[in-house]
Amino acid sequence: MGSGHGRDLEKSAAWANRVADRIERAEAEASRIADVVSRGAVPGECSPKIIPAPARGPAVVHRPVEAVLTDNGPRLRHGTEQGFHALLVNSPLQRMEIKAQNAMGEDYTPRYTTWQHKAAFDYAMVAERMAKGRMKCTNLDGLARGGAESVTDAYVIDKERYERMRERIGLRVALRFKGSKAFAKQGRKLILCLDLVERVCHRGDDFQTVLRAHQWQVRARYYERLHEALRASLDSLYGF
């Protein structure tokens, strides 16, 4: 009786642990899903016609500005009313544009073209799928061939595209220093265009983070040189 009762208690404890583990995993999954859904929420300032879409990624309210002619001359005003603004995907390049627009006001002109924004987005998507694809291929290794083949094939296609993109950017230098001995003593490093595109477009770093990672001082003239290098690198992705 004693040994049988002890085994029953062990089974009950094991069952209780399994239930507790399932509850914990279910709660964690529910929290993860809620976080994903919240990232796709549409701010109340935007048009009600915009649907929630977590896959859209980080976005900001876009209040388009238009010039109108008044009795006192041309004036700027919002092109949409409160509650009907647009939603703009908040990519790293878009954050740069918004920051420049806020700083320059009416003197603002876009730093990047539509094609350059698209190139940055495409690079980020392929680089992200590459990072996730490695884990998926590793996890599927040894499983049934059907699903594993489809994931592996997609990974190979992305890998080839990723490598072509990086080949087009090449080993050009985004920011080099003059007087190499003096700067080398300060620990400064060359900033390659490949590293610049990877950090800004994929990781979402700003120029300040890029400069400091390579031991450079944060100065306006370096910002301009990085802008030029990033524009040229993004153009090269589409052969411009």
Q: Which residues span the domain enclosing 206? A: 91-240
How many angstroms separate the CA atoms of 48 and 63, rounded? Answer: 15
Determine the number of helices (DSSP H) and then strands (DSSP E) in the chain: 8, 6
Task: For the beta carbon of residue 46, count every other beta carbon within 10 angstroms.
Answer: 20
pLDDT at 66: 67
Number of domains into which the chain is organized:
1
pLDDT score for 158: 84
User: How far is Cα 27 from Cα 20, in angstroms, rounded to an integer?
Assistant: 11
Could you tell me if residue 183 is inside a domain? yes
pLDDT score at 143: 41
Q: What's the pLDDT score for residue 169?
A: 94
Does residue 28 lie within any of the structural domains? no
Per-run averaged pLDDT (10 residues), the chain, 240 residues: 64 83 88 77 81 72 72 74 74 84 83 88 86 54 47 78 92 80 63 94 91 91 94 87
DSSP for residue 45: T
How many whole angstroms separate alpha carbon 26 and alpha carbon 63?
40
Q: Is residue 116 a part of any domain in this protein?
A: yes
Distance CA 141, CA 149 (A): 10
Residue 134 domain-assigned (yes or no): yes
Residue 105 maps to a domain: yes
Please report the pLDDT score of residue 73 as a whole number: 78
pTM of the entire predicted model: 0.61
Residue 178 lies in a domain: yes
Residue 47's H or E segment, with its range, is none
Long-range pairs, 91-99, Cβ under 8 A, ≥24: 91/57, 91/58, 91/117, 91/120, 91/121, 91/124, 92/120, 92/124, 92/200, 92/201, 92/204, 92/205, 92/206, 93/117, 93/120, 93/200, 93/201, 94/60, 95/206, 96/206, 98/60
Q: Residue 92: its pLDDT value, please?
A: 84
> Is residue 177 included in any domain, yes or no?
yes
Residue 175 lies in a domain: yes
The single-letter DSSP state of residue 198 is I
